């Protein structure tokens, strides 16, 4: 704190020195007025303070421009990220979305904010999955994932993967949901392609394994044997099967139409997504595996990049808040100095311009201070050039009418028959 104060004081002193140098340079080009020493000193101080204020205002404007430039840079990183970023409230309404997310939905960003996300979900099953997904996000810690079908503004449907995490509010309770949305239509189509190739297992470039309803291997294609060899595991393909295969078979066996299940299996550093199908009429289980190691690494890299970006944004936010606090402090200081200078300026319009030490002048000033607050007519008598107008201006500025205009009339320049109307007819 002490170092900050010393730095601020040093900055102010430096500005003052620069202001004085500018003032001296300016005065060198102008003739000095014939005035007393105290008046010169007062004018000098006011001019120095004015230049200080101008220099401080210039620095404030530059700091504001730098802050806006930095903020715009991180806004662009957010808006043009390769995936869609959404922020939902607890009811599933869209609070924020980046440009990529708006483009993904085929809607202008303004058309998404404060809209229910359920209105962009393609079918009832996906709406139910999204509702369960939101509940799970608030109930469990960490990132939660689900896949649903969404529809664009033009009616086109696509598969999307949602990766969400709860954001605590100020009361340390779950408030909003931050979600990354990716178009995985390509991934879904690839899974369908694996299923289509099931009738040609030997030609399938991906591992294909068939088991009975107990999980015992009946068949594995050449691709499964090749992958097993690459992974240094038995080439019969048994280690390519998911460990919970019996439970999956039991679940699929309860489905009359023989539905399929998608699971991920990690073996010696490589990741496979496996489509497990149990055709009811065949009483067998077919496993089609697809190596997604590269995709998983890309997802991990993307997640790390996203986390790093959030950390940078948080750090920059702290810096911006600190800078804004300094700007606010300087603004308050400028306002206080402005008030002080206005008061100083007002004081100039009393008796400071009237210089003299004679008893007669002191008595005139004393009487002027007495009558100035009263609502009465004042007659000021004196010879030409003795300062009657200065006394009148000082009385006016100390009177309750100081905020109203003061009219000065040269009686010597008026005809005698107009003096009365000018003085008393207004």
Given a cut of 80, whether residue 357 has pLDDT beyond it is no
Distance of alpha carbon 89 from alpha carbon 425, whole angstroms: 74
Distance of alpha carbon 328 from alpha carbon 336, whole angstroms: 12
Most confident of 5-19, 149-163, 313-327, 331-345: 149-163
According to the model, what pLDDT value does residue 114 have? 92
User: Using CA atoms in the order 138, 144, 145, 150, what is the torsion angle rounded to 10 degrees?
Assistant: 30
Asked which of 22-31, 116-125, 273-282 is least confident by mean pLDDT, the reply is 22-31
Given a cut of 80, whether residue 22 has pLDDT beyond it is no
% of the chain beyond a pLDDT of 70: 79
Distance of alpha carbon 199 from alpha carbon 279, whole angstroms: 12
According to the model, what pLDDT value does residue 282 have? 74
Most confident of 111-115, 318-322, 377-381: 111-115
Element (H, E) at 276: strand 270-277
Distance of alpha carbon 88 from alpha carbon 85, whole angstroms: 10
| Cβ–Cβ under 8 Å, residues 83 and 100 | yes
According to the model, what pLDDT value does residue 369 have? 82
Averaged pLDDT score across all residues of the chain: 78
Are β-strands 270-277 and 285-291 bridged in parallel, bridged antiparallel, or unpaired? Answer: antiparallel
Query: Domains in the chain and their CATH numbers?
Result: 2-78+319-347 (no CATH), 80-183 (3.30.450.20), 189-291 (3.30.450.20), 359-424 (3.40.50.300)
According to the model, what pLDDT value does residue 347 have? 43
| Cβ–Cβ under 8 Å, residues 107 and 119 | no
Given a cut of 90, whether residue 181 has pLDDT beyond it is yes
| Cβ–Cβ under 8 Å, residues 161 and 147 | yes
Given a cut of 50, whether residue 336 has pLDDT beyond it is yes
DSSP label of 32:
P
Given a cut of 60, whether residue 408 has pLDDT beyond it is yes
According to the model, what pLDDT value does residue 225 have? 83
Instruction: Specify burial of residue 374 (Cβ count, 10 A radius: 0-12, 13-18, 19+).
Output: exposed
According to the model, what pLDDT value does residue 3 have? 44
According to the model, what pLDDT value does residue 348 have? 45
Distance of alpha carbon 207 from alpha carbon 224, whole angstroms: 4
Given a cut of 90, whether residue 157 has pLDDT beyond it is yes
Given a cut of 50, whether residue 19 has pLDDT beyond it is yes
Most confident of 71-75, 143-147, 204-208, 374-378: 143-147
The per-residue b/e assignment along 387-402, b for 16 or more CB within 10 angstroms, e otherwise, is: beeebebbbbbbbeee
Closest CA to 95 of 179, 154, 182: 179
Phi-psi region of 277 (alpha: psi -120 to 50; beta: other; left: phi over 0): beta
According to the model, what pLDDT value does residue 226 have? 83
Q: Which residue has the higher pLDDT, 325 or 16?
A: 325
Q: Which residue has the higher pLDDT, 51 or 108?
A: 108
Given a cut of 80, whether residue 62 has pLDDT beyond it is no
Given a cut of 70, whether residue 404 has pLDDT beyond it is yes
According to the model, what pLDDT value does residue 210 have? 84
According to the model, what pLDDT value does residue 214 have? 83
According to the model, what pLDDT value does residue 122 have? 92
Closest CA to 78 of 266, 312, 346, 265: 312
Q: Which residues pair with 161 in a beta bridge?
A: 147, 182
% of the chain beyond a pLDDT of 90: 17
Distance of alpha carbon 110 from alpha carbon 96, whole angstroms: 10
Closest CA to 45 of 74, 20, 80: 20
According to the model, what pLDDT value does residue 227 have? 83
CA distance to 177, 373, 394, per residue, from 389 (Å):
74, 18, 9
- Residue 290 has a CB neighbour count (10 Å cut-off) of 19
- Residue 150 has a CB neighbour count (10 Å cut-off) of 22
Q: Which residue has the higher pLDDT, 161 or 229?
A: 161
According to the model, what pLDDT value does residue 36 have? 66
Q: Which residue has the higher pLDDT, 392 or 182?
A: 182
According to the model, what pLDDT value does residue 129 have? 94
Distance of alpha carbon 218 from alpha carbon 210, whole angstroms: 5
Mean pLDDT of 381-404: 79
């Amino acid at each position: 704190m002490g170092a900050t104060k010393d730095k601020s004081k040093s900055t102010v002193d430096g500005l003052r020195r620069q202001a004085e140098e500018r003032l001296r340079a300016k005065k060198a080009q102008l003739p000095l007025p014939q005035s007393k020493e105290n008046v010169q000193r007062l004018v000098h101080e006011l001019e120095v303070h004015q230049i200080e204020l101008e220099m401080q205002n210039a620095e404030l404007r530059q700091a504001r421009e730098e802050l806006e430039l930095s903020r715009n840079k991180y806004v662009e990183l957010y808006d043009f990220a390769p995936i869609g970023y959404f922020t939902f409230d607890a009811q599933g309404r869209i609070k924020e979305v980046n440009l990529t997310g708006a483009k993904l939905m085929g809607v202008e960003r303004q058309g998404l904010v404060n809209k229910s996300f359920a209105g962009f979900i393609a079918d009832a099953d996906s709406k139910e999955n999204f509702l369960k997904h939101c509940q799970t996000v608030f109930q469990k810690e960490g990132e939660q994932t689900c896949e649903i079908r969404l529809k664009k503004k033009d009616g086109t449907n696509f598969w999307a993967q949602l990766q969400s995490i709860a954001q605590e509010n100020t009361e340390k309770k779950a408030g909003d949901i931050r979600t990354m949305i990716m178009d995985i239509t390509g991934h879904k189509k690839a899974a369908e392609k694996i299923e289509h190739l099931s009738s040609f297992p030997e030609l399938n470039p991906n591992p294909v394994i068939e088991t009975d309803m107990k999980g015992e291997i009946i068949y594995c294609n050449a691709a499964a044997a090749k992958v097993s060899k690459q992974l240094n595991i038995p080439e019969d393909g048994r280690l390519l099967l998911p460990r919970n295969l019996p439970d999956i078979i039991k679940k699929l066996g309860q489905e009359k139409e023989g539905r399929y299940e998608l699971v991920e299996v990690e073996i010696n550093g490589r990741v496979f997504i496996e489509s497990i199908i149990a055709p009811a009429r065949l009483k067998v289980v077919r496993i089609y595996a697809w190596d997604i190691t590269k995709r998983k690494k890309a997802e991990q890299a993307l997640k790390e990049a996203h986390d790093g970006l959030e950390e940078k944004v948080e750090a920059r936010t702290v810096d911006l808040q600190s800078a804004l606090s300094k700007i606010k402090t300087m603004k308050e200081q400028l306002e206080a100095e402005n008030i002080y200078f206005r008061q100083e300026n007002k004081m100039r319009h009393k008796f400071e311009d009237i210089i003299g030490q004679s008893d007669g002048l002191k008595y005139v000033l004393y009487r002027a201070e007495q009558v100035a607050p009263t609502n009465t007519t004042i007659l000021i008598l004196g010879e030409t050039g003795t300062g009657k107008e200065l006394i009148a201006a000082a009385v006016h500025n100390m009177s309750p009418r100081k905020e109203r205009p003061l009219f000065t009339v040269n009686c010597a320049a008026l005809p005698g028959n107009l003096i009365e109307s000018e003085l008393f007819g207004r």
